[in-house]
Amino acid sequence: MAKQGQEPVQDLDGLTAAAKGAATAGKGLPPVHLWNPPFCGDLDMRIAADGTWYYMGTPIGRPALVRLFSTILKREEGKYFLVTPVEKVGIRVDDVPFLAVEMIKEPGEQGDCLRFRTNVDDWVVCDSAHPLRFEASAEGGLTPYLHVRADLWAKITRALYYDLVDIGEARMVDGREMFGVASAGAFFAMADAEEVRGAS
């Protein structure tokens, strides 16, 4: 429901049409960072921790529609919105909006480079501008995340996490030996190297 003084949120068809209009306005991703439309309330849309998008409790089964909505996703002050030039609606995100589901290691100018494909078919090069971060998970161990764009992140699947561990290495970081992953000339520390050796 829209709060008093706000325009009511249009239905999914209207939002889809507006998103398509924004997507075809130019090449590449829409410039959502330049848009500041009025907030029109919250939409009953949720992105689950496994990357599934739901509308009114039902999974959105059309990958092209999920891909379309992902291009107008924006995060502001810890909240997520779908933004078009004329409206902004809030949605819920359980963890982060994307999953990294495929990884390719290839040679680059600054050494080996890791490229990740997200569940909405974006390819992201892991580098200093798109870093990896590792957070302690509730089940123990670490959960890795990849910066996709702006303030949007992708959770790396468990299978790819094991691949990262396999290619990891120890390096000195600020006088401390750390275990981590290198990509495109940058090094992303996972944990203290001694702790990793002790756990293996």
pLDDT of residue 27: 65
Indicate where the chain has its CATH 3.10.540.10 domain(s): 12-93
In the chain, list all ranges with CATH 2.30.270.10.
98-199
Phi, then psi, of 106 in degrees rounded to 5: -140, 155
Packing angle between helix 63-70 and helix 12-23, nearest 10 degrees? 70
Q: Would you state the pLDDT for residue 8?
A: 43
- Averaged pLDDT in 10-residue chunks for the chain of 200 residues: 43 80 71 90 95 96 94 95 92 98 92 96 96 88 94 96 94 94 96 73
- Residue-wise pLDDT tens digits, 119-170: 999 999 999 999 999 998 877 789 999 999 999 999 999 999 999 999 999 9
Please give the pLDDT value at position 25.
56
CATH H-level, domain 12-93: superfamily: duf1285 like domain (3.10.540.10)
d(CA 182, CA 187): 4
Residue 24 confidence (pLDDT): 61
State the pLDDT at residue 13. Answer: 80
| pLDDT value of position 135 | 93
Q: What is the CA radius of gyration of the chain?
A: 19
The domain made up of 98-199 is a member of CATH 2.30.270.10: yes
Cα–Cα–Cα angle for 161, 71, 43, nearest 5°? Answer: 100
- Asked if 54 and 45 count as a contact pair (C-beta separation under 8 A), the reply is yes
Q: Name the maximum alpha-carbon separation found in the chain.
A: 59
